[in-house]
Structure 1
Amino acid sequence: MTRTTTPALQLPRTLSRPQFTDISRDALAAAAPELAAVPAEFIRHGLRAKSPQMQAGIAALAPSHLPPSIPRSHLPQALTVPLRAPPPGAPAPPSYPTHALAIAPPAKSSSGERDAPQAIFPVHAVVLAAHCAKIPRLPSPPRTHSASASVTLPVLPLALPSPQAYSILHAFMYTHRLDAALASLLPMPPAFLESLCSTSQTPASVVAAALNTPAVRHTLAAHLCASSGGNLSALMAHAGHVKELWQDMVALGMYDLALWDALDLAWEVVLGAMNLAAQ
């Protein structure tokens, strides 16, 4: 494979897609036994309809009792988090998360890195099981009654290359918004992001068309190059973010075709912007 080498980062020409693997039926059965035999695409489609209730459930967690990160040495087996009253107009009833992921890069030899902060993400087990083929079977959470004032979330440590990149994937699993995923990776022209929210075309078709149209890729690359001031170091940082997202998608076993097209588009745009900056 042809590579472009820089002092700070080795860039592959393409980010290879791993061979497709179906989601784990064992993990799915643990999260939602009634869905164990349902095709994955049907499950994901159904979850999109329930996304407002699930996001409302996450938003109901009191932030004062849900730290954004916890040192590995102080990681509890579970977090008990009080619930806030839902705001007016919130979906009813909210669907509360079932677990908390504690994400950090794989621990290395030094004691400081072994005790690095673990980023905390409240999640619904069924969302993870329906999107991530490599997610392990999550332990069963305690039952939560609708009148409960708190929820108890079992904590699952998970080693991923980039907690920051996972935050993009976490949002995508709930919203399926390609515009938000791309905007989290790169500065994109507002008109292009708005086109992903058009009612005349699906976001996936817009991204696929852009990926296969050199003129559109060039326009996006020129915008990125200009927004970065033609600075190669800034563009390499963008390339690093895209590559981290790729690594997390591979590690989790995420095979959403539209998201992969968006990742490929972001990579093409970064490489194009670097070529323009080098001219």
Structure 2
Amino acid sequence: MSTQPIPFGRSAHGKRDSQVSSSSSSVQLPRTLARPEFIEVSPTAIAAAAPELVNVPLGYIRRRLWSEAPQMMAGLSSLAPSHVPSSLPRSHLPPSLSIPLRAPLSPVTPTYPTHVLAVSSSKSSHDTQAIMVPVHSLVLAAQCARLPELRTPNAPVSHTLHLPVIPMSIPSPAAFTILRSFMYDHRLDQVLEALFPIPPSFLANLSHSGIRATMSSGQALHQLSLYLCEASGQNLQTLTTYTARVKGLWQDMVALGLFDTELWDTLDLAWDIVLGAMNLAVVMRQ
């Protein structure tokens, strides 16, 4: 799994940064979303999450995580939903949550999560809610270069998990749920589908090579932008909401230090599509 992003200031399909109009001449959006300078994940973060993997090559760790994704997803689904609050006040977070385990929903032997992230917005200083997101610390440590160490507890697993609650502030808590799913399953189609309406035929069997091919085809980009424009009813407010959703994903990727090339190329494609849809909507309304 490649992680090295295309350098700062150039999108994956080779277009230089510029400004494009959105709903009016007074609103400007960047032509591309800049990629930060690449940094590798911290070996100490890996060691904190999984001491047995000290000095193990990162590529091997990521391949192992890929192969064990079904077990980890089974572990997440084993948590009793009624005992995992969807959100809690940021100023009243407990140090840990005790979560009963329910019978596995699949025949896969579950690997249980290690922490609950209390994800809140870094843009607000008010007493806001934090989204509660169970995670496996190694999944984040192996893919996010800008996260603090998440030391895996040694608590034995019985019928109840006792998971530490870790506060985390990022620009878009809603976008983090998209990234959390991607870090487990690496489904590019689900990333796009979570951002805005897109043709099901395009999502079927979507691959990284398909993403790259679409980005280099003006006709394909136009058709996807036209689909989104029509799906929104040519409503600029709706399209602005989709644009903010893509921007939130970009901000979180930068904040977390998530440098997966396939994900960054998918983000570039989403940005091209939504900007094209906004420009089409402006033209159609004239």
TM-score after normalising by structure 1: 0.91
1:220 aligns with one of 220, 224, 232: 224
Q: 2:212 aligns with which of 208, 214, 220?
A: 208
**1:13-70 Cα deviation digits (max 9, x unpaired):** 1100111110011111000122232333332221111111101111111111110101
Q: Does 1:135 align with 2:151?
A: no
Alignment counterpart, residue 168 of structure 1, candidates 178, 199, 216: 178
User: For 2:145 and 2:216, how far apart are their aligned partners in 1?
Assistant: 28
Give, in whole Å, the separation in 2 of the partners of 1:107 and 1:261: 26
Which residue of 2 is the match for residue 29 of structure 1?
47
Q: Measure how far apart 1:10 and its partner are.
A: 4.6
Q: Which structure 1 segments of 5+ residues have no match?
A: 197-202
C-alpha contact 2:117 2:135 (8 A) present in aligned 1? yes
Aligned Cα RMSD in Å?
1.6
Q: Is this contact kept in 1: 2:137–2:152, CA < 8 A? A: no
- Alignment correspondent of 1:102: 118
Task: Report the equivalent of 1:200.
Answer: none
- Structure 2 partner of 1:118: 130
Matched, 1:156 2:166: yes
Kindly indicate whether the alpha-carbon contact (under 8 Å) linking 2:121 and 2:172 is maintained by their aligned counterparts in 1: yes
Q: 2:82 aligns with which of 61, 64, 67?
A: 64
Task: Identify which range, 132-141 or 184-193, moves more after superposition.
Answer: 132-141
Q: Is the 8 A contact 1:142 1:152 kept in 2?
A: no
Structure 2 unaligned spans of 5+: 1-16
- The correspondence of residues 182-193 of structure 1 with structure 2, limited to 5 A, is 182-193=192-203
- Count of aligned pairs: 265
Q: Which residue of 2 aligns with 1:19?
A: 37
Identical aligned residues as a percent: 50
Match of 1:80 among 70, 73, 98: 98
Partners of 2:123 and 2:171 within 8 A in 1:
no
The 1-side partners of 2:64 and 2:133 are apart by 22
- Partner residue of 1:91? 108
Partner of 2:4: none
CA distance in 2, matches of 1:83, 1:217: 45
